[in-house]
């Protein structure tokens, strides 16, 4: 969630989007190339539908995810955009959801907890809207 004035009226508006930085069910360390310590980007081999609360995206996607390191570095997005994803639910209803589309990630050493992408957010305690 963020506050932005990047619109034609230059008005402050609250924006939100769903951020999926890494898939939970994949061990990304297995995709690190031999002799390397990091894989800054991970991407599934085949496009797949996205799901939210039992609802499925109308289109298939092949998103990029931030990778991981086996040393003290952490990988975070540094270039992304927002896309609209249309979902269909089993009961016949549907909705559109804004999602972060990662374009590039950066792995660096300034990590409190390696591979904990949310560790740096504690600097912003008291400001729950600072999540982007």
Cα separation, 90 vs 114, in Å, equals 39
Three-state DSSP class for 79?
Answer: strand
pLDDT digits (tens, 9 = 90+) for 23-35: 888 888 888 999 9
Predicted confidence (pLDDT) at residue 90 exceeds the cutoff of 50? yes
pLDDT at 123 over 70: no
Checking if the pLDDT of 118 tops 80, the result is no
pLDDT band at residue 21 using 50, 70 and 90 as cut-offs: confident
Better-predicted residue by pLDDT, 72 or 129: 72
Q: How far apart are CA 25 and CA 5, in angstroms?
A: 37
Token representation of residue 82 = 């927002």
Q: How far is the C-alpha of 58 from the C-alpha of 21, rounded, in Å?
A: 21
Return the H-helix or E-strand segment holding 33. none
d(CA 14, CA 27): 34
**Closest by CA position to 100, among listed 131, 56, 68, 67:** 131
Neighbours of 15 (CB within 10 A): 13
**DSSP symbol at 18:** B
CATH 2.20.28 fits 19-108, yes or no: no
Q: For residue range 74-86, list pLDDT tens digits in order.
A: 888 889 999 999 9
Instruction: Considering only residues 66 and 129, tell me which one the structure prediction assigns the higher pLDDT.
Output: 66
Q: Which of 14, 16, 2, 23 is nearest to 98 (CA)?
A: 16
Mean pLDDT for the chain overall: 84
| Vertex 9 angle, CA 80 and 132, to 5° | 25
Of the chain, the percentage scoring pLDDT greater than 70 comes to 84
Per-domain boundaries in the chain: 19-108
């Amino acid at each position: 969630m963020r506050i932005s004035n990047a619109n034609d009226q230059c008005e402050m508006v609250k924006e939100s989007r769903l951020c999926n930085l890494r898939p939970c069910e994949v061990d990304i360390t297995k995709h690190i190339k031999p002799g390397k310590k990091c894989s800054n980007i991970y991407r599934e081999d085949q496009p797949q539908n996205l799901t939210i609360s039992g609802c499925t995206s109308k289109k298939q996607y092949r998103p990029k995810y931030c990778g991981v390191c086996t040393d003290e570095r952490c990988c975070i997005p540094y270039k992304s955009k927002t896309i609209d994803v249309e979902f269909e639910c089993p009961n016949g209803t549907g909705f559109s959801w804004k999602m972060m589309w990662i374009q590039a990630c950066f792995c660096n050493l300034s990590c409190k907890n390696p591979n904990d992408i949310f560790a740096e957010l504690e600097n912003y305690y008291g400001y729950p809207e600072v999540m982007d």
